[in-house]
Amino acid sequence: MTDKTDLNRIYDVIIVGGGPAGYTAGLYASRAGLASLLFAGASTVSQITVTDLIENYPGIPDGINGFELMERFQRQAVKFGLEVVAADATTLESRPYEGKALWMVRADNLSYQARAVIMATGAYWRKLGVPGEEEFAGRGVSYCATCDGPFYRNREVVVVGGGNTAVQEAIFLTHFAARVTMVHRRNRFRATGILSQRALANPKIETVWNSVVEEIGGDSGVEWVRIKDLRDGATRLLPASGIFIFVGLLPQTDLVAGLAARKEDGAIIVDREMRASAPGLFACGDCIDKSLRQVITACGDGATAAYAAQLYVEEYKGEAY
């Protein structure tokens, strides 16, 4: 972390978000000589820091723990001069300044200024919205198998969802749980073929198709999950000490509400250069409208956003080549 943040300074670029997208943008921006500041977030963490093993990031054939990869990203960016503040950006606005836009970012009740802003705020898990979900959060309801899986050694758990993450996390949970029951509203997984095959071949994983969770219940912690078969409406209780919910991500983009165009789910709409709809505003990673939300794509988006921001700032300062 830095202690040299200058509040009177106009940064070339402020990056909001300390995940793979943000740190890659920070690496490219600072290495290109831009005065760059990154808000890493205080109340939330990057999704990869809760990922036990990442085995699909190129160049690391044996896989790597997500937290360790994150530390490497940060170290590499800071080496080139990126300043990092461990705070949440709370507001974002742009004001006219010398015929252009000057961005103001507020964090920890202080204002910071920049010619360009790169949003890299990621996404968070969608809730089921059923009775018991809030009540048992942290007492059997989880959105992170890596964090909570070891608590369920030799116990029965339910996983909700059928996408890549649900299937991947269900397989991970079989290292601990006695049985993993996957409840999915359709009659097959949406996950990639190889992942689906692995799950279906795993003797500890059972599948309940065409079904949804209606209620989560128990005494001091989760003891059962009530599911409904969508074909005939029949309900039944599955005994379970834990339920892991992976039914989609919500992009964290409230900061740009009213400033930039977004999809209905909140994802920021960008062009191929990662430019959002406001001048000087760029976005990258899981917070943008995209099809594949992974570390590798977040990094690629971050590099593109930083390069586009660099061209924008050079033009802004009359230094375009």
Cα–Cα dist 17/47, whole Å = 11
Active site residue 148: yes
Of 290, 295, 289, 271, residue with least CA distance to 281? 271
Of 66, 57, 238, residue with least CA distance to 144? 66
**Residue nearer to ligand FAD on the CB measure, 225 or 287:** 287
298, 306 in Cβ contact below 8 A?
no
19: contact with ligand FAD by CB under 6 A: yes
Catalytic residue among 52, 88, 144, 229: 144
x/- map, 264-303, ligand FAD, by CB under 6 A: ---------------------xx------xxxx-x-----
Cα–Cα dist 126/134, whole Å = 13
Catalytic residue among 6, 108, 147, 271: 147
In which region does residue 33 sit, left (phi positive, over 0), alpha (psi from -120 to 50) or beta (all else)? left
160: contact with ligand FAD by CB under 6 A: no
- Joined together, the tokens standing for residue 74 give 């940060």
Burial class (CB in 10 A: 0-12, 13-18, 19+), 59: exposed
242: contact with ligand FAD by CB under 6 A: no
Active site residue 147: yes
Pairing of β 100-107 and β 110-119: antiparallel
**Residue nearer to ligand FAD on the CB measure, 90 or 197:** 90
36: contact with ligand FAD by CB under 6 A: no
**Judged by CB under 6 A, which stretch of 33-41, 94-102, 194-202, 234-242 contacts ligand FAD?**
33-41
The DSSP output letter for 42 is: S
Nearest approach, Cβ of residue 98 and ligand FAD (Å) = 27
Q: Where on the chain is the footprint of ligand FAD (CB under 6 A)? A: 16-22, 39-41, 44-48, 50-51, 54, 56-57, 88-89, 120-122, 144, 146, 165, 169, 252, 255, 285-286, 293-296, 298
Active-site residue set: 144, 147-148
